[in-house]
Structure 1
Amino acid sequence: MTSRHVLVLSGGLSPERDVSLRSGRRVADALRDVRPDWHVAEADVDAALLPYLQQNRPDCIVPLLHGAAGEDGALRDLLETLDIDYVGSDASGSRLAFDKPVASTLVSGTGVAVPEFVVMPQSTFRELGAPAVMAAIGDRIGFPLVVKPTRGGSALGVSIVRHSEDLPHAMVSAFAYGETVMIQRFISGTEVAVSVIDGPDGVHALPAVEIVPESGMYDYHARYTAGTTEFFCPARLSEEMAATVNEVGLTVHSVLGLSDLSRSDVLVDDDGVVWFLEVNVAPGMTETSLMPQAISAAELSVGDVLAGIIESD
């Protein structure tokens, strides 16, 4: 077995820094467990990174940054410029996936159901007047609805709005995480995450994870606080519905041109329609994250999956 120098990147300056660091530590330890002959190092994304890469050029990088720093394609553009191999989707696919309205539009074009949405820049919100804009949005989308930043993850800045009087606060909360927000029709149903891995054996979907937060909303607290969310993996779906959900995950992975791994978040409504919500090219790998649960349900390990991807590149 060939020894390799692998660098796990985590941290950064996004609001998801702490989650990224936890993911990075877990992945680094997992790789050391399954490939003890490899040199697995860890680094933050700061001013010391480029000098480090020049002096300690790795064979492969595992980017586990969340938010813009790791998912908008910029870091991957840099790694491609430096001609350094890395795990995950390329810069182009990352940009498409990170922009929720763009990803939703492309996925909708394949026939997958996507909740109706409106995109609203903060400048338009101010220039046209908040009351008029919110009234128009409420009339078109209806209540309840979901307000979220168009970019970013971990449900930061996301609100479910059931009454018109709660919309202003939700808009302000979303604008705190970005200049543009996405207002989307709320879909009631079973929330499911579909992880896709693209390794030595080809592209396949892992067992879906069903998400049942005790608060009713899978927000930041529910995602990263142990005991606040109940998970079922495999999801409590019929065999036919489980296959449909997995096919949606594979479709998203394909239409956006993603590589190595992705996680699509979907909802299954009472009529059995699978609705695409968003996709993540740098899924969390913490002890409460969804992709590790799916990997475990497939009787695999995080270390083996990532090592297999690294070795197949």
Structure 2
Amino acid sequence: MRNDNKKTVLVGVFVLIGIIILVAGIMTLGGQQKKFVKSISLKAVFDDVAGLQTGNNVWFSGVKIGTVKKIHFYGDSQVEIEMNVESKSKDYIRKDSKATISSDGLIGNKIIVIYGGTSQAPVVENGDRLISEMPLDTDKMMETLQENNKNLVSITNDLKILTGKIAEGEGIIGAVLTDSTLAMSFRNMMTSLERTAVKSNQMTTDLAKLSANLNQEGNLVHDLLTDKEIYGNLQKSILDLQSTADNAKEMTTNLNQVTNKLNSTDNAVGTLLNDREFNNTLKSTLVNIDSSTMNLNRGLEALEYTWPFRRGFKRMNKANNN
């Protein structure tokens, strides 16, 4: 009888412990799933939920505020997510907040992340639908990474081939690295460049000294740059030179016109200088005039000895002698 009572007590103890464990488990799971807190329902529509399941967590600013309650199709090919969110957190979520799907860690369970929202927008209410933002497609990311890896391998192979050719002395870089003659020439070129740089610095210093000397008071350049009276005189001289140049230009134009007229036969001087036939005629005329003058002189001399004029010429000679 005692043994039966003892067994009954042990069974009752184990049953009680089991009930306690069950209740504790229910309370723990309910606490994790926010089953025993006051909550509101929020919704979001996605094109692809990327493996999100009922019971997954909902986060806001890094804090767990609820769980996914339902997942069902919406419209033609979209999916609507219904979330249970703690009522005490709704004051921080605005109607223009966004919801996206993320991962709990790198390869953890999918979660809903609520973010954004402006203070100008009102707080959410039960049954509101948030703006959904599609997450990055990890499959496409992996494809991109694989393509980048292939490109990286290709680039590495090209670099391997290039460095091999350089090591063998191929190409300009390889020749420079392996040919001692080219290295010496390059060294000489660098030496020449260094000398040129030194000379350039020296020339710059000399120019600086020259400019400093030119800026000293009493220097002609300094006076020309600063003395207004000299500048006025110089400007006046330039204007006089310009006037002289204009006069010389006008005189040259007139001389060109006179020369053109002298080279033409439409005037007396031009005809005299350029018409050969006229010149020959004029020369012949002058010869004839000269001959006529000579004959006239001879006639006058002979006239002196003619009888009618002899007495008159004697009187004239006698008067001239007296």
User: How would you bin the TM-score normalised by the shorter chain?
Assistant: under 0.3
Q: TM-score, normalised by structure 2?
A: 0.17
Q: TM-score, normalised by structure 1?
A: 0.17
Larger Rg: 1 or 2?
Answer: 2
